Amino acid sequence: MTPNRFPKPDFESGYQYPDITYPVPDEALWTTVDLLMLVLLMGIVAWAVVKRQSRRQVVLVSLLSVGYFGFFRQGCVCSIGSIQNVALALADDSYVLPLSVLLFFGLPLLFAFLFGRVFCAGVCPFGALQELLLIKNHRLPRPLSTVLGMIPWIYLLFALLYAVTRSSFLLCRFDPFVPIFRLGGDLGMLVFGGALLLVSLFVSRPFCRFLCPYGALLGVFASVSLWRVKITKKECINCELCHHACPVDAILPPYANQVKESRAQGVRRVLAYALLLPLLMACGALLMYLASDSLSRAHKEVRLYDLSVQYADAQATLPIELETYYAQGGTAEAVAARYADIRAGFRRYGTLTGALIGLVIGITQIRLSTKRSRKQYAIDPAACVACGRCFGYCPQNIAAGKQPPSADGLHLSTPNKRQP
């Protein structure tokens, strides 16, 4: 029998009916547990790779992260998606940013500034899953990986554009791993995620390196980190084993000026590319300004405006979206005014997005053309994901008894032999 089907009898006895309440999960408690786990696991990884130079703890943290943050908590709240919430809060005063989301966004960046990309090492369930699946790494040419490295920045800028205009949270909408952790969801994303995992068997961390926008931010903070990952605490003997062992190509080899280019020539070339930066930024800004009206069609109210124009004089049955809007008291004038504001926002933020895309392309070109002299192998802190694979291959660590050969048997890929 349906409760409250008939009015309750009024006896005027002054009796107060109790409020009916239903128990709900204590999400605040779980959020606290999530944050504690986040800090604890990042602390373990930082201690393992910076202090002890050990990979074993990184593997254990990766397994725990995939199990807890991945399949148990189903990938949310994630630090990657929190970028959009923070951007929206900065652009719109009416949006209240939850403290938990801010902490998920800020804590990994803080640890990156202190110790490098320890979040990527094994705490992020997306990166940890790819790390555990790697069987045999195939190194991509450095120019190709550098060019592909622009994609996370461009993806980040578009995600920010759609977030600040309240159009869509692209990073959540096109998340390839959450459907896998939830064992269901959009078929297209499941296929895409499965394809990434298949690629990650032979190419280390394709999502982290060539798609993840949060990884790009972490790389910026890691590039100025206070305590950095070191292959060995002893003097490097240039055996190049670590270079071949690194799956993400984050160990830079010694560079000898093979083309015998003078320093003046190199400086002139870099300055020439630097002078092109304003032109690239201006071209990007112009292109995005021209495309802003088309990009704004992703906003639901812009689509509603288009429907109101299309069916303004038509006698046909209205689409359900437009009929619902009018039934709730909406008017064509109101949606037209809202459309004008949204279009202006897309033009403003789209122009800025285009300028920043031009900046990314210009800086990438400068990086490809910059040749720095090095006498020893050195870690690129922005690219290093602190996986610790290089520790067990360093003869200095083995001689010191800190690492047995083959890195405690935890390496999942074998480095190429040294080339003569």
pLDDT tens-place string over residues 33-58 = 999 999 999 999 999 999 988 899 99
Any idea what DSSP says for residue 202? T
Tens of pLDDT along 132-159?
Answer: 999 988 888 888 888 899 999 999 999 9
Same domain, yes or no: 284 and 400: no
**Residue 401 above 80 pLDDT?**
no
Positions of E strands within 104-202: none
> Would 9 be classed as within a structural domain?
no
The string of pLDDT tens digits covering residues 283-293 is 999 999 999 99
pLDDT single digits (tens) 312-333: 776 677 888 888 888 888 888 8
Q: Which residue has the higher pLDDT, 375 or 95?
A: 95
Q: Would you state the pLDDT for residue 33?
A: 93
pLDDT beyond 50 at 407 = no
pLDDT band at 14 (very low <50, low <70, confident <90, very high): low
pTM for this predicted structure: 0.84
Same domain, 282 and 193: no
What is the residue range of 280's domain? Answer: 264-314+333-366
Average pLDDT over residues 82-97: 91
Judge whether 418 lies within some domain: no
236-278 pLDDT tens trace: 888 888 888 899 989 888 875 455 566 677 777 778 888 889 9
Q: Is the pLDDT of residue 301 over 60?
A: yes
Residues 249 and 397 in one domain: yes
**324 within a domain of the structure (yes/no):** no
Q: Examine residue 416 and state whether it is found in any structural domain, yes or no.
A: no
Ramachandran region of residue 62, left (φ > 0), alpha (ψ -120 to 50) or beta?
alpha
Residues 357 and 384 in one domain: no
Same domain membership, residue 117 and residue 76: yes
pLDDT given at position 201:
95
Q: Are residues 383 and 251 part of one domain?
A: yes
Q: Within a 13 Å sphere around the CA of 384, how many CA atoms are in the beta-carbon half? A: 30
Spatial distance between the Cα atoms of 203 and 221, rounded to a whole number of angstroms: 25
Q: Are the CB atoms for 252 and 262 separated by under 8 Å?
A: no
Partners of 40 in the beta sheet? none
Does a structural domain hold residue 184?
Answer: yes
- In a shared domain, residues 344 and 195: no
Q: Is residue 115 part of a domain?
A: yes
Residues 189 and 63 in one domain: yes
The answer to whether position 204 is within a domain reads: yes
Angle subtended at Cα 276 by Cα 271 and Cα 280, rounded to the nearest 5 degrees: 150
- Amino acid identity, position 254: P
Is a pLDDT exceeding 60 seen at residue 7? Answer: no
Kindly report the average pLDDT of the chain as a whole number: 85
**235 and 117 part of one domain:** yes
pLDDT at 16 (0 to 100): 58
Is there a single domain that holds both residue 59 and residue 180? yes
Q: How many domains does the chain have?
A: 2
Q: Residue 63, Cα to own-chain centre: how many angstroms?
A: 20
Whether 242 and 121 map to the same domain: the answer is yes
d(CA 78, CA 73): 10
Task: Clarify whether residues 128 and 208 are in a common domain.
Answer: yes
Percent of the residues in the chain that have a pLDDT greater than 90, as a whole number: 51
Residue 110 lies in a domain: yes
Q: For residues 34 and 37, what is the distance between their CA atoms, to the nearest angstrom?
A: 5
